[in-house]
């Protein structure tokens, strides 16, 4: 059995419910938060494989959340979703920036899958032992 990847979603209540259903139906474990402070406190507990956040949080810019999470765990991918153009001109260490309303849910899922694969690295193919190589042909 494969271990479910954990995605920390940070957004308003309505968007979180949509993201949660979308991600959980695809086999991800979802942890939700409404503020950057709550999200960072949750992130520090560990076990998060990817952070997916709205760029416009109520208590702090998500770019600050991205900087803090990357400082703690640079290997964890951070994806920001924004309705504003300004988010796309940021120096924050994010792995993905998407403009809300410009992508289909399947595209978001594919981006998330690719970010998690990059974090894990390529799967290693089991090599055939040299003494069995000739027998396999």
Higher pLDDT, 123 or 75: 75
State the chain's mean pLDDT as an integer.
84
DSSP H stretches of helix in 51-104: 62-72
What are 107-121's pLDDT values in tens digits?
999 999 999 998 765
- In whole angstroms, what is the distance from residue 29 CA to residue 7 CA? 6
pLDDT of residue 91: 75
pLDDT band of residue 43 (cuts 50, 70, 90) is very high
Residue 47 has pLDDT above 80, yes or no: yes
Report yes or no on whether pTM surpasses 0.85. no
pLDDT of residue 132: 45
Q: Are 55 and 84 in contact (CB under 8 A)?
A: yes
Higher pLDDT, 115 or 103: 115
- In whole angstroms, what is the distance from residue 134 CA to residue 137 CA? 6
């Amino acid at each position: 059995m494969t271990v479910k990847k954990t995605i920390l979603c940070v957004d308003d209540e309505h968007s979180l419910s949509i993201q949660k259903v979308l991600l959980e139906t695809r086999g991800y474990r979802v942890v939700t938060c409404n503020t950057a402070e709550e999200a960072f406190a949750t992130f520090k507990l560990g076990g998060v494989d990817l952070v997916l956040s709205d760029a416009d949080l109520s208590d702090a810019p998500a770019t600050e959340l991205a900087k803090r999470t990357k400082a703690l765990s640079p290997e964890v991918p951070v994806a920001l979703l924004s309705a504003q153009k300004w988010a796309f001109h940021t120096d924050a260490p994010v792995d993905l920036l998407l403009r809300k309303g410009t992508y289909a849910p399947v595209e978001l899922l594919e981006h998330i899958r690719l970010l998690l694969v990059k974090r894990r690295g390529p799967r290693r193919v089991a090599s055939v032992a040299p003494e069995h190589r000739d027998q396999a042909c």
